[in-house]
Structure 1
């Protein structure tokens, strides 16, 4: 997908046309990591692990090989993984290294509620409650203001989430940041804001959420991480005397959650250059206190007014999508930093940024049980160019398929072909100058031999193309434009009908709660009886 045409962000140019839609969402982190290594000329293998065929990948330079689980490489020890998974154990290591953490206690499902309330009487509201092994903000309840809310939150974890162990901590007043560290360096920082919308003076909260989600669907790592209206959202709206049909004032920003996780609708804003070095040092110290953990993500709360910071979590398999595709600010190339660390001999290698591979076919083969291991064909990292050749003939000819079969399939490996009816074909080829020149000769020889008159033009192609031979047919532009216009018209009609339905539903709701509706109930009953009789 061409991300450059979606919306103008300050993202990395070599990824703007390199992310297939299949890799959007939860697969994005694995894809960009594997892509970075593969484009350096490393051998890429996808493997299936266990009965569920969990997809992992390996990279090799011919002398050494490293295995990766999404962003976590095999230099991160199992001990480090176990520590990071257990929030209480993480906290113990941090406290042992004198790294600031929130005050709080760990409890089990057997701990009497009275004991919990007695312990916490020494601390101050508001509190945060979270499962020991929670991920992506699941089960985290923040901004607990009083004892009854605390009791309800503990009950929810125990009874609804069946949580065996959980932590209750003092709430730290500060903004949340994800600091990604490789070796001794901070290579990226994102500020994570809770799900939010901005008023425009005429759209309802419901409509603003829908529009924000449409924007998120076009961002690779946020594709499936949409804003959802849940109990927390409803509570926030109720506190402000708002509902989903409330129209926000222009430039009024409304937070819809207390949690800043991207998976629950949060926003990522690059803060690499803005976060003070003193806070970065706390994050580095926190990562270093976990044994054999050379890289990972540190979640830290920082209060700009007081200058204080505290670590709330360390992630051994932290996502990098928020750093690569921030909604605001500059993208940071975390995959490059990780690959530099694992394969320092490839730091100076020139990436072939004009090719990307098809994750979907490899993924489906492994998940479908048809293969346990697949090697992706290596990419050529020599001085390659990508050139587009446009061939037009004056008369209709059936020879394009023969041309593809007799010339393209036999001689070229990385080419994208688009056929426009029977009079035009576009060929985008990636290769060395000699290969590109050879294609021009092949085109001339083929059409001359078939005695078909043609015009050919060529130009450098700026985007990445899919590895292999890919052919597609395109309908005539007039028909395509007509279809686009019809689809747009239909979309507007659907939106208008939805708005009308909401309006009528509100009118019915008001009518059914009115006094006149209650007073006319006997009459409606009689009229309904007569109607049945007739």
Structure 2
């Protein structure tokens, strides 16, 4: 798959992260960075005792918990949050009302507002909102991804309806009311006292072309988002709230906007709700960056994290702080140059590895293979094969002749392992094979050509073409022909299993029908007499 925009990081192409799209993308990108520097990488299930002292929230699905070690010390990570972040900092940031108090005490500009608990009445909340002045925002104290957030509430009636939705539909006992701030929405990433990345977040929208309806434009934009490893899991999904919003702006899904007209589908800028991401680090002023750094420092035990801010003519307003932020939009913004957030995090945890990521764009590991034992519950932890660190040399050999023997292929794999090389072999439709070989020894990579001539009993090599190879290669050695055969065998076994299950169901049905038949019921007294006699002679014989 080709890169979908010019600003993509060369060591995080769509091919490399293909198996880690969605919620696992952040953890994989961070773990991959550390692994490429020669650190030992382990992946864990939620049952592992290694994470018993770390606050984590996740489903049973593996791919979020991992550790990196340099042989002397180990650091543990949950997604993008490492163990240098204190649990107490996580507790503070998880509760938006508590976060606001810490920021306010540190003199950080915030959106005016207040937290309310389950015992507070609707009337108390309405009175506070009136004192702030409409419009206001209501949201759960512990919410995320924009769920349960209602913005730009302009009246008491709207507020009462929103309170009911937050407390019932979203089951939020504690909520926050704050002044609705209009302005540009940014997510800023701070690590070790420096602003290292920022994106502008734009609410889900489409741009008219004078030909297609809003519904069609959404479908077209979603097709573009599918090419982005982060946005592929953040499609624009029409719902009742979106219908209300576009109706309020004099549109319907069937409306055809004029060419160049931008139509917003919501006023929430969350990327997870279909918002756009635009790289913005260079556009932020020094003053804004300094406020973001101070906001992180205001939370004890929080050396890195993301700050959500609104910027307008009145200045900066810090909205939230996230100690476990998603970084996919910084790695794969819809517009602009990507920011290498994993580099800064690994620099912070393992500063001695800063110069050890040479040729990192040329090597990676299979994420699905690494997690398979965890998914199958065969293990609570898996260790990824160590990465070759240093300059990576790669060749692609196209071998002609009688070279389709599986034993020959497996012999080549054995040779690759013995030489400390990685790569893959695949069969071509014309009967040739294609072999890609990579390693840190230029001599071993070039001498691998000799391996094709060594197994004369199982292969006859007529010609070898070789070229330098610059694309990424997985560690290990994959025989893709074997994988294809294995998949065919698996499909055959699945078909046989389905046929056997069908036959068993039919047999059981036939037995049930027989037992319910009149003849079976009428002969039951006879069977009661003859069955003991049959059993007696069976034992005697």
Q: TM-score, normalised by structure 2?
A: 0.83
In the TM superposition, what are the counterparts of 1:469-508 in structure 2 within 5 Å? 469-473=477-481
- For 1:147, the equivalent position in structure 2 comes to 156
- For 1:220, the equivalent position in structure 2 comes to 229
- For 1:32, the equivalent position in structure 2 comes to 29
Residue 46 of structure 1 aligns to a residue whose secondary structure is strand
| Structure index of larger Rg | 2
The match for 2:68 among 59, 62, 75 is 59
Tell me if structure 2 keeps the 8 A contact 1:197–1:208: yes
- For 2:434, the equivalent position in structure 1 comes to 426
The match for 1:336 among 324, 339, 343 is 343
- For 1:532, the equivalent position in structure 2 comes to none
Tell me if structure 1 keeps the 8 A contact 2:404–2:427: no
- For 2:469, the equivalent position in structure 1 comes to 461
Pairwise CA distance, 1:404: 1.0
Residue 207 of structure 1 aligns to a residue whose secondary structure is helix
Pairwise CA distance, 1:53: 6.8
CA distance, structure 2, for counterparts of residue 451 and residue 180 of structure 1: 56
Pairwise CA distance, 1:407: 2.5
Pairwise CA distance, 1:101: 0.7
Change (3 A) 1:12 1:307: farther
Residue 219 of structure 1 aligns to a residue whose secondary structure is coil
The match for 1:365 among 366, 373, 376 is 373
In the TM superposition, what are the counterparts of 1:27-426 in structure 2 within 5 Å? 27-50=24-47, 52=60, 55-303=64-312, 306=313, 308-351=315-358, 352-393=360-401, 397=402, 399-412=404-417, 413-421=421-429, 423-426=431-434
CA distance, structure 2, for counterparts of residue 411 and residue 289 of structure 1: 53
- For 1:13, the equivalent position in structure 2 comes to 10
CA distance, structure 2, for counterparts of residue 411 and residue 471 of structure 1: 12
Change (3 A) 1:273 1:143: same
Residue 121 of structure 1 aligns to a residue whose secondary structure is helix
Q: Cα deviations across residues 374-403 of structure 1 (Å, max 9, x unaligned)? A: 11010111322121111223xxx3644232
Pairwise CA distance, 1:372: 0.6
CA distance, structure 2, for counterparts of residue 107 and residue 219 of structure 1: 39
Pairwise CA distance, 1:217: 1.6
Pairwise CA distance, 1:69: 0.4
Change (3 A) 1:241 1:439: same
CA distance, structure 2, for counterparts of residue 100 and residue 142 of structure 1: 19
Tell me if structure 2 keeps the 8 A contact 1:53–1:369: no
CA distance, structure 1, for counterparts of residue 413 and residue 372 of structure 2: 27
Change (3 A) 1:20 1:114: closer
Q: Cα deviations across residues 169-208 of structure 1 (Å, max 9, x unaligned)? A: 1111111101000111110000011111111221111111
CA distance, structure 1, for counterparts of residue 448 and residue 264 of structure 2: 56
Change (3 A) 1:402 1:369: closer
Tell me if structure 2 keeps the 8 A contact 1:17–1:463: no
- In structure 1, list runs of 5 or more residues that go unmatched: 475-534
The match for 2:19 among 22, 41, 65 is 22
CA distance, structure 2, for counterparts of residue 176 and residue 108 of structure 1: 27
CA distance, structure 2, for counterparts of residue 411 and residue 398 of structure 1: 17
Q: Cα deviations across residues 265-306 of structure 1 (Å, max 9, x unaligned)? A: 111100000011111111110000000111000111111xx1
- For 1:505, the equivalent position in structure 2 comes to none
- In structure 2, list runs of 5 or more residues that go unmatched: 49-59, 483-541
Tell me if structure 1 keeps the 8 A contact 2:423–2:478: yes
Tell me if structure 1 keeps the 8 A contact 2:14–2:229: no
Tell me if structure 1 keeps the 8 A contact 2:21–2:230: yes
CA distance, structure 2, for counterparts of residue 134 and residue 399 of structure 1: 57
CA distance, structure 2, for counterparts of residue 208 and residue 307 of structure 1: 35
Tell me if structure 1 keeps the 8 A contact 2:404–2:433: no
CA distance, structure 1, for counterparts of residue 185 and residue 404 of structure 2: 61
Moved more, 352-361 or 36-45: 352-361
Pairwise CA distance, 1:455: 2.1
Pairwise CA distance, 1:321: 0.7
CA distance, structure 1, for counterparts of residue 307 and residue 282 of structure 2: 16
Tell me if structure 2 keeps the 8 A contact 1:90–1:313: yes
CA distance, structure 2, for counterparts of residue 375 and residue 76 of structure 1: 24
Tell me if structure 2 keeps the 8 A contact 1:9–1:328: no
Pairwise CA distance, 1:136: 1.1
CA distance, structure 1, for counterparts of residue 299 and residue 244 of structure 2: 38
CA distance, structure 2, for counterparts of residue 131 and residue 451 of structure 1: 67
- For 1:516, the equivalent position in structure 2 comes to none
Pairwise CA distance, 1:453: 4.9
Pairwise CA distance, 1:144: 0.9
Tell me if structure 2 keeps the 8 A contact 1:386–1:462: yes
Q: TM-score, normalised by structure 1?
A: 0.84
CA distance, structure 2, for counterparts of residue 72 and residue 257 of structure 1: 30
